Amino acid sequence: MNKLLIDEIKKIELELLVLVDKVCRENNIEYSLGGGSLLGSVRHKGFIPWDDDIDIMLTRKNYDKLIKILSLQNEAELWHYSIKETFQPYAKLCNKQTYQAKAGLDFLWPKIGVNIDIFPMDYMPEKEEKRVQFMHEAQHKAEILYSTSFPAFVSGSKWYYSLARLFLRGPKFLRYHGKNRQVAKEVDDFMAKYQSDPNATQIGFLASRYFDKEHFSSIIFEKYEDVQFENLNVRKIVDHDSYLRQIHGDYMQLPPENQRINHDYVTFYGKEN
């Protein structure tokens, strides 16, 4: 097996980002770097030094349009419930010539390759109580989706995370196994519930690990600009400050070393020809 080094993984991820950027520019789709990638572009002009993945985010309308186009191309493999079984409430664009394994749990991820994450940003209620309730419901449904695929639903960065998930998600698996695509569509439709509601002024990824920090004024997703990310010229929201400050506070300040988390529990390999 040909184990990929971190620089090789990043190079492949950048190639996937080039593909997305090309598709978006050719089809008038606005997207933005998101999460740690947006932070990295602002603070480091590329990857956060201890990070090794790429996230992008799109409003629901642009997300659906991009997914449709990516499903028709052959350069990379799209992981989305409309195409194949997946247990995450967002999409991944994957390199076809690589595959992933997790420490001690290689059998859980035998197919998915080096990838970038593509997140839908959905409208949600403005009032806090109603918004939080909606996010709780969305995350509960997302947890059901995670539980539909065995043994993948027990995947974790540490063995005791996997053991805990076996007990926590096991009952859901017994109830929902074999219904992956049905559940995935229900989750996707639910997250888009407020798409046409003129009173929904907040937007965010509803299954975010940041939970209620993940809500922003929809206004910040109206203007975009080019930004440097490593050797590329890609896109971001103009008002990155509102997004990053909401999640990270003083985002230009480096976090303590014990909070600099990477994905070293994941290993990628090149496929043998």
What is the full DSSP assignment across 218-238?
Answer: GGGGS-EEEEEETTEEEEEES
What percent of the chain is modeled with pLDDT above 90? 68
| 70-87: average pLDDT | 93
Element (H, E) at 33: strand 32-33
Q: Give the side-chain half-sphere CA count within 13 A for 202.
A: 20
What percent of the chain is modeled with pLDDT above 70? 86
Q: Which residues contact 211 (CB under 8 A, 6 or more apart)?
A: 135, 139
Q: What average pLDDT does the chain have?
A: 89
Residue 156, pLDDT score: 60
Residue 271, pLDDT score: 85
Mean pLDDT lowest for which of 75-84, 102-111, 244-253, 255-264?
Answer: 102-111
Q: What is the DSSP string of 118-179?
A: EEEEEEE-SSHHHHHHHHHHHHHHHHHHHTTSTTGGG--SSHHHHHHHHHHHHHHHHHHTT-
Residue 12: pLDDT above 70?
A: yes
Residue 255, pLDDT score: 82
Mean pLDDT lowest for which of 21-25, 56-60, 67-71, 79-83?
Answer: 79-83
CB-based contact 251:42 (threshold 8 Å): yes
Residue 129, pLDDT score: 95
Please name the amino acid found at residue 57: M
Query: What distance in Å separates the CA atoms of residue 103 and residue 238, rounded to the nearest whole number?
Result: 38
More confident: 166 or 122: 122
Query: What distance in Å separates the CA atoms of residue 100 and residue 269, rounded to the nearest whole number?
Result: 6
Partners of 233 in the β-ladder: 228
pLDDT tens, position by position, 120-156: 999 999 899 999 999 999 999 998 898 887 666 666 6
Radius of gyration of the chain from its Cα atoms, rounded to whole angstroms:
18
Question: Which two structure tokens, joined as six digits, stand for 19?
Answer: 């593909």
Query: What distance in Å separates the CA atoms of residue 62 and residue 41, rounded to the nearest whole number?
Result: 21
Residue 175, pLDDT score: 73
Residue 205, pLDDT score: 97
Report field, pTM of the whole predicted structure over 0.75: yes
SS3 helix, strand, coil % of the chain, rounded to 5?
Answer: 40, 20, 40
